[in-house]
Structure formats: structure tokens, C-alpha cells
Structure 1
């Protein structure tokens, strides 16, 4: 029986995790965000109506679910307030349904300003961040100068003292990039203190809540943000995010015991996309790229940036399966491939210099300039798959495509998404027992 499930992305984010979390939330009691910040964007479509969440867990649209923002998340209070307001405006009540760890580090105005000026300074060598201040907030966390939600709520005098030190530090640092930018300590102090009463009732000991929930055999989904190859350790470094996006982070970012995780579900598109800079072995630039971008609405839900498009990369997926200790896969956007004459799947990388083939992306350094993809080309299908709910109803070529991937990866395919709406899915394996 599965009580506690981790759901995370297998690529560079934007795989459709939010929809899958939302779909499975009807079976659980809690949904937990455990890393990242408001640089993440989860788009949910219910009855044709779109909702985009950045900090609040995707399952919050279900009325009886409690959402938890775990200690591994960096929190921008203004953006959290904005998101709460958006949900209230669509009649989603959060009363007694949203809990935040007091150990969450804060994203402050000086983090955002540093993020923006540093990316501008780097020019063509920039990482391609969302400009939301997430990286600098995590830098503060590792450097032990981070201001946390608990500091603001429970020791205001110390919070103000440390805030002054941080403002002085950031004014000095930012002046290296742009001397015209200045952080006003008094303004930021007044702003932060004004948030205290707003959030104090949301803050609790989330680790204890999850511990007690597990003892009661209640069900929990741990919701990842971004994707495996944006992981700070295992991703396409340095073109990565500033947190660990792999499955082990679910426990670190929530304080939940690792032995209590029952199942790990990886979510992948049936093609590849990424936002921002960095290597992308299967990237394409032809007419098919434009078709997939248009049909798949491939624009970042956080930044609005057009996503880069490529074919499905099994070399990366094999690595993602290994480092996440994956139990099964969910594939999304099958319907986006409708109408293509052929579909390519990258089954190996080949080193241009000596012809060596790689079946799994290596950990650490890889010279992407010396890599080319080796493809298997499969026939496409002209039939419409959107909204199909039974595997047997799929076109024969679509079934062959999926079965070929399953054979090469040697892992269960549990869910197939055939459209943007919550109920546009094929369920091949019920992950939660009733």
C-alpha cells in the first residue's frame, strides 16, 4: 500500500507535474512542497479553467487538502500573499489549509536585485535565471546569513539586527555590478515587519505535523519543483537551479523520514523542453520545433519565455531513473505529438571524437560540444489522442511508441497524460490504495 508518494520532474522542469499532483490529490490528506521558490510555476487546468501556482502546493484546489510549504522552500512573502489573494478571488478557501515551516528562508528585495544585475553583467554567459532572487536566497542559506520566517515572527530584535547587516552587505555587493542601485534598510524593515501578523497563523512545526500524519496512516504527496537536470548537484551544472530537485530532497526539505517514502513517480514529457541557457543535446530548430511549441503551449508559466524544444532523450531519462530511485513514470503531452509523420527518440549519445556511445549521462563533467544524439525514428500517427482515457483506445503507432520507450527504460509507465485538463489521463497503475 502506498501512503507517501514523491512526484518530481525527469527533465528541466515544465513536465506537467502540477497536473499530476492535482490529479492524485483526491486520494491524500497533505501535499508538501519541499524545495525551490516562486521560480517554479505549476499550471493546473480544471474544467477548462487555468490556475498557475508558484509557491502553494498544486493540490490546494481540492477543498479538503492541507498544503504544506516545507523548510527546503525559500519564500517570498509578498508573492505568497499575492498567490493567496488569487486563490481567494476564485473562491478557494485556505482557512486552516495552508501551513508554512518556520525554518523557510526568506527571499528579500536585495536577493532579487542582485539576481537581476548579476545576470545582466554576465551577458551571454548568464545562467538564464527567472530573476526572482532564488539563487541569492539559497546562497545566504548556505553562507549562514539567511533570515528565516521564524526569525521574523519570534525574535524581531535579532531579525532587524541581522537584516541591517545583510542590507549593508548587499549594498556593497550590488555596487560592484551597478552603483546606481541602493537597498533602503528602513523601507525593507517596515515592509517585513508589516507581514508578521499576516503570516503568523500559517506557521507551524511542519515536521511534527508530517510525523503525526504518517503515524495515523494518512496519505501525503511530496511535490517537486523544477526538474532533475536542474538539480544543483546532478543537473547540467552550472546551468541549474540553486536547490536539490531530486527525490532525496523531499525528506531534507520537509523533515520527513526517508524510510517512510513508499513510491517515487517521475514525470516526463514525451519530448523535451528547457527554459534558459545550458546544454540541450536533442534540441531542434526546424518546423517540428515550431509545431510542438505551438501545440504544447511551450511558454514558461513563471517567466513567459518561449521554451527550447527537442526530442525525447532516453540517455538523460536513464540517469534520472537511477538517481531518483524511481518506482514508475508518468508521460505527459502525448496529444502534442498527434499528426507528426515521424517521431525521434534519442537512445544513445555518441562522442564525435572517437565514436564512443553513452547510454547513461555521466555524473560530473561532460563535453557537450563532443556529443551528438543517436536517434531511433518511429512512425507517427494522424489520429487525435486528446482526452483518451484507455490505453487500448490509442492509435497503434502511439502504443508502439510508448511500448518501445518502456522496453528501453525497463520501468513501469503508470500514467499517460493526453491533454491539459485534470481528467485527460490514462491510468495504468493505481498508485494509492483506497
Structure 2
């Protein structure tokens, strides 16, 4: 890959422009490799901007949720956790220690900002309780929460009950008092507001224990942790709606104390990184359409996922940043989202193939699959903004195994009155009444995973790429595409392994010109 010569930004952010699961972790890996290849020196650091243990990626062969994906590169000197993150201290250790057992330095590189918020068991119990409330008290369908306590932890911030990692560097009495108040509020809410039954209350601890023992099976088998480490039942009191507070406090305090050397102020580090310095790569969790304010409410995350959150989380003023928007060559969603371009993966052969590739790293849940929605990505460019575009998993659309079908791109929406629009309505009720307008494209059956240049791609593949890009731009620029504002296609992913990318993609102007064809419109 070629580093863009016009960019002098000391910050590079990698964010999703769909509904998450765009392969941002692999993009971070490729960017880190590129920085070192071009300059001969590694990036100055990698920063996790938002969210918590509800993100998912793989590093050094391990599935991770909390540590930034750059942890897998041992030459990156600093792993930063922004103040916009909510994190369970035990989770940091659950991820760091198995990596260190493999010879990878983690804790010596980790800097958790002092203003990062502490989450704990009470938030996870609240997460399960609110899901129980929605289903049993309100009669709503399962929202598919990750159960990691992310939303309740962020609720503490808006309720001004937050606890910061700074607490672990101070007197234990303050931590103890804050934790007691937090637990009391949680148990009162679970009992009196969510109206969780005693049976369900006790089952929550079993649910969490089973989930964490399964997720950390390798660490247990490798004797890095004992099974008791992931036993949540021990925190349950004998009577309902109560916790063994003494044990809970001891376990969380000791986890925090173990991390004290990793807790600091990341602001001077971010501010001290001059344009002439090696860049810092900022890694966002989730994606544009999951933003808590601008996403598809109520199926959103609890944090901000748009570019400006980098500066809130980092605690620094606005400065130049190079923003990379990530998507896949098709769409995926998880949970109860209304999915306009969804493919029936039971009836559709290509849908079945794609579905086999799509399971959540965090939850293991089957993702829904669908055709590329250019309107969503175009609106993410128009209102969220990004300088460069990465398209992952183009290889997955190869029509192998006898699959015979046309590929589709959603280029617009049809409203109930028959009119056509190229923007995402802000009303979820209106959005649910739309039907996608597709353009059909010829597919390809050539294996593209071993190719190394754009010129080698089949003509049908190049046509599909060109139309993805041009239809995205049509939605982003309703008054006409502005050449001066076009994002560059930085690379295209053609396989899961490092280096399986096409980086010599033609200019965006050339791609738009190449898409001047007359596809079938449905």
C-alpha cells in the first residue's frame, strides 16, 4: 500500500460505516504494517476510542473484545484506552495474560486513561435484567444485547454515578463506598423496576458463568486461569437480589490494583505527537449506524461511533486526522435490526455461503447477510465523513460451488408513494416502510484470493467495485459528485489473511468513470 503523500496527520482513525463487523481489526493491522514499511519505524501507538468489551476482533490467534487489535503487533510501543471507553478491569487481565503467556508484551505497553470508566458485575446483571424487562414486562422481542454491561455502564455516566480508573490509584475507602452505592442501585432497579423474578435473578449468574467459561476455555485449559476465575455464582448471596459485596469488592479492587501501573493520562501523549512524528492509529468500535444519537434507534450502541468521538475520548482539541471508513462488499447485521437488503440465507445459495462466514466474535451469534446498501454508506460519508474507503471481503462474493446468480447493489429506496430517494430517513418508522431499489450486476466465478493487483481482477469484479463506489457517491453528493471531495479507495480485502489485499486501486474518478454502464434496475 502507498501512504497518501498529501496527509501530514499524526492521527489516523479507522471506523465502520455500516452496522459493525466490517473488518476494522484487519484494517488496523494493514495500516500498522504500511506505516512501518514506508518509514522504517512502527506507529507511535494504537488507541481504542469507544465502547467496551462489545467489540470483537482477533489478535495473535486470540479472540479479543477490549484490547485494541494493534496489540498483536509487538513493535507498537503504546496501547491506549481512551476516556470514552467503559471497561471491566478483570477483562483487561483475561485478555492480557493469555497473550503474555504466548510471549507478547501487553501490560507494559498498556495505558488506560485515568478517566476511563470502570464497569463491573452490577452492569452485566443490569444488562440481563433490562433485556428480561423488555421481553417479559413490555412484550418486546429480544434485542440481542451482548450482555457485557455496556449500556448500563454508560448510564452511570449520564446519571453522574461513574467510577473512573483513577479510583484504583487512590484510597480503597472511596472505591468501596462507590461500589456499594452502585450495587445497591443496581439490585433495587433489578427487583423493583425490571421486576425480575427470583428464579431469573439466580439464573443470571449461571448465564454469565457459562458464557465466560466458554469464551475463556483456552485460558482454563492452559492453566492461565482457574475455572473459579470465571465463576459468577460465587458473587451471588443466598437471598435473592443481593450480592456477596465483600467478595465482589475484594476481587475488583485486586484486579484494579494489578493494573495501577497501566493507568495514566493519555492526553499529553496524544498532544505531544507532532505531524513529524509517527502516527497514532485510533480504532473505533461498532460503526456509524450504531451511533447512540445518529444510528438506527433503538438498535444502537451506548457510545458515539462517529469521528469526532476521537477527540472527546482522547480529551484533546480538534486537530488534523486521516479518517478511514470501512465496509464489506456485502452487508451484515446482528440482533433485531430492520434489514432492508437482507438475503434469505436459507433459500438463497449465495446467502447460505455468506452466512457460513458470518458469526460474531463477541457473541458467536449468526449475523444476517444482505446486499451492499450504497445509500447507507453514502449517508455515512455525507454526514459522518471519511477521507479513504476500505472494502473488505470482496472474495466472499465469488460464485463458486455452482452458485449461479446476479449480484445486487442497493442504489436507492422506494417510498410507499412510489417516489425514489437516496437518503436514509431519520424516522425509523418511515425507514421500515421503504423497499430497496437494486441494480443487478454480473458475478464472477474466478478465485480472486491469490491476486495481487487490481488489473488482474475479472472484468465483472472491477465493474462491481466501480458501481459500489459510484452509487455510494451518488448518495453522498445529491447535488452532483464533487471531485475535490472524493475519498480514495485505500485497499480492497480479498481474503482473511494478512496481505490478501488489492492496494493499487485506480483513482476514485476512474472508478466512477468505469461505472458508466447500464445495469439492470429492479
TM > 0.5: yes
- Pairing partner for 1:13 from 7, 15, 20: 20
Do 1:6 and 1:221's aligned partners in 2 also have CA atoms closer than 8 Å?
yes
Structure 1 partner of 2:191: 175
What is the aligned length? 422
Structure 2 partner of 1:56: 67
Q: Distance in 2 between matches of 1:375 and 1:359?
A: 12
Larger Rg: 2
User: Does the alignment pair 1:138 with 2:198?
Assistant: no
User: In the TM superposition, what are the counterparts of 1:7-406 in structure 2 within 5 Å?
Assistant: 7-26=14-33, 27=35, 28-44=43-59, 50-65=61-76, 66-94=78-106, 96-123=108-135, 124-176=140-192, 177-180=195-198, 181=201, 182-214=242-274, 217-261=277-321, 263-285=322-344, 286-287=347-348, 288-294=350-356, 297-339=357-399, 341-352=405-416, 354-406=417-469
1:213 CA drift (Å) = 2.1
Deviates more, 1:184-193 or 1:269-278: 184-193
What is the TM-score with the length of structure 2 in the denominator? Answer: 0.78
Unpaired runs of 5+ residues, structure 1, are none
1:97 CA drift (Å) = 1.3
Give the match's secondary structure for 1:253: helix
Distance 1:33 1:16, change over 3 A: same
Residue-by-residue CA offset, 1:310-369 (whole Å, 9 max, x unaligned): 1000110111112221112100001100015311000001112x1122202133444233
1:214 CA drift (Å) = 3.1
- Pairing partner for 2:499 from 399, 423, 427: 423
Do 2:12 and 2:280's aligned partners in 1 also have CA atoms closer than 8 Å?
yes
Give the match's secondary structure for 1:128: coil
Unpaired runs of 5+ residues, structure 2, are 1-6, 36-42, 202-241, 474-485, 507-522
Residue-by-residue CA offset, 1:33-62 (whole Å, 9 max, x unaligned): 110000100135xxxx73322111111211
1:278 CA drift (Å) = 1.7
- Which has more strand, going by share of residues? 1
What is the TM-score with the length of structure 1 in the denominator? Answer: 0.93
Residue-by-residue CA offset, 1:202-255 (whole Å, 9 max, x unaligned): 011111111112366231111011111111011110101100111111111112
Do 1:110 and 1:183's aligned partners in 2 also have CA atoms closer than 8 Å?
no
Q: Distance in 1 between matches of 2:254 and 2:173?
A: 14
